[in-house]
Homo-oligomer: A and B are copies of this chain.
């Protein structure tokens, strides 16, 4: 079983009537529902208001892939929890950062840049797949459309991604690296831009397919629970020092 934890700050959906109608039980619940249809995926939920934001040591030790949705309350996430998540990513846990999670503390810590970008409310997006060889693109068409999405535009201040799988086209004239991957330590990271809370993005089949693919791609390889450390090596044989290159 692939153990997936969905973290959501879960504020917009409780405070804003319009958004509550779209996601009555929260964005995490919508994501949990479509992931729950996969037989090999097991889901836990964590939200900002839970004890330790729901991300206790125990939860993280039992998480293969962590999904992160945050927007309004990035600063309310405690540094100690961010450090814990970061350590776990470096040990091999996958991380799927959705939409405005680009500005989350955990993404800034892992990527080292500002992750700043252009933005504008209310645009139309076409998501183009530019790498059909990537497991995250499995079963995806050449492009699909989001009638309404917040515009996120270049230049996006990120380190060079390992892979750029999706490019976003916005009707207002912008482009964006909408789906891209990074590796930090042993952990795989996928950033995916669509998912503004005011639109029912996570109900779209293409979006669900991409997130599901991403989870399978991000699963840990050689996960190591031991603390990360520097390794001092034993001295090499004396004769080597003497004889080499003579």
In the bound complex, CA of A154 to CA of B173 (Å): 16
Number of interface residues of A (CB under 8 A): 81
Question: Which partner residue on chain B sits nearest A86 by CB separation?
Answer: B112
Given A133-B188, A221-B132, also A237-B230 (CB < 8 A): no
Residues in B neighbouring A123, C-beta threshold 8 A: 236, 241
Given A130-B154, A160-B162, A185-B113, also A239-B243 (CB < 8 A): yes
Quickly give the copy total for this chain: 4
Given A90-B113, A169-B169, also A120-B244 (CB < 8 A): no
In the bound complex, CA of A230 to CA of B240 (Å): 29
Query: Does A186 touch B at the CB level, under 8 Å?
Result: yes
Within 8 A of B (CB), among A100-155: 109-114, 116-124, 126, 128-135, 137-140, 142, 145, 151, 153-155
The 10 sampled A-B contact pairs (Cβ below 8 Å) are A120-B232, A120-B233, A120-B235, A124-B241, A124-B244, A128-B153, A133-B183, A160-B162, A160-B183, A172-B241
